[in-house]
């Protein structure tokens, strides 16, 4: 009796190894795609939550809204809205919040100071067409505390190709009342 393997046995074993290898490669590929999606989604969420926090704190500590889209306003009874808002802080200074040019930015102090980005522009971008600040106040009472509603949509700036795993987008929306309102 001869010892060894027949050609059929060798081909069968090789076929089984190819199938098992493909399954393992598929699992590894899926895991890597999932972790990439998680990283991208986390980046968008962290940038959006940070911007929400800064905007909320800025509005909360402000005394009044003085401009929206560079238009002077005396109160918010007409619910003006726009992509920039100027606020008077409790210390008398002016803070500008803006969501133009694919970013969300803030500027405090003199008008000569540049806007400071509230998002990491190397990782995410703002959809300026969906971004707004809206001042809301009771029409019947111009002395009531105004609320500023704000919304923006961030997406991953480095999205490669059309793969779902390389794209992330999230809309952030909130509203904040001026705690130190001084009509």
Task: Please give the Cα distance from 8 to 177 (Å, whole number).
Answer: 78
First to last CA, the chain: 105
Residue 127: the pLDDT is 92
pLDDT at 28 (0 to 100): 87
156 occurs within a structural domain: yes
3-state class (DSSP) for residue 129: helix
By residue range, what is the domain housing residue 42? 7-177
Domain count, the chain: 1
In this structure, what token pair is assigned to residue 145?
């505390």
Q: What is the pLDDT along the chain (183 residues), one digit of tens a residue?
A: 677 778 888 899 999 999 999 999 988 887 777 777 788 889 999 999 999 999 999 999 999 999 999 999 988 899 999 999 999 988 888 999 999 888 898 888 655 567 789 999 888 999 989 999 999 999 888 889 999 999 999 998 876 666 666 688 999 999 999 998 877
The model carries a pTM of: 0.78
**Does residue 183 belong to any structural domain of this protein?**
no
* Residue 52 placed within a domain: yes
Contacts of 54 (CB under 8 A, 6+ apart): 106, 118
For residue 100, being part of any structural domain is answered with yes
The answer to whether the beta carbons of residues 57 and 85 sit under 8 Å apart is: no
């Amino acid at each position: 009796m001869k010892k060894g393997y027949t050609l059929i046995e060798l081909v069968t074993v090789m076929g089984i190894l190819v199938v098992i290898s493909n399954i393992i490669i598929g699992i590894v590929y899926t895991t890597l795609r999932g972790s990439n999606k998680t990283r991208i989604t986390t980046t968008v969420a962290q940038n959006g939550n940070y911007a929400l926090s800064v905007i909320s704190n800025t509005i909360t500590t402000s005394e009044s809204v003085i401009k929206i889209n560079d238009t002077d306003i005396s109160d918010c009874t007409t619910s003006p809205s726009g992509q920039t808002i100027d606020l008077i802080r409790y210390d008398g200074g002016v803070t500008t919040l803006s969501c133009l040019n694919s970013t969300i930015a803030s500027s405090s102090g003199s008008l000569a100071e540049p806007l400071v980005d509230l998002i990491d522009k190397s990782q995410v971008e703002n959809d300026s067409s969906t971004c707004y600040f809206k001042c809301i106040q009771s029409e019947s009472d111009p002395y009531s505390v105004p609320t500023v509603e704000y919304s923006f949509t961030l997406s991953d700036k480095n999205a490669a190709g059309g793969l779902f795993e390389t794209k992330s987008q999230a809309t952030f929306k909130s509203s904040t009342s001026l705690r130190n309102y001084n009509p």
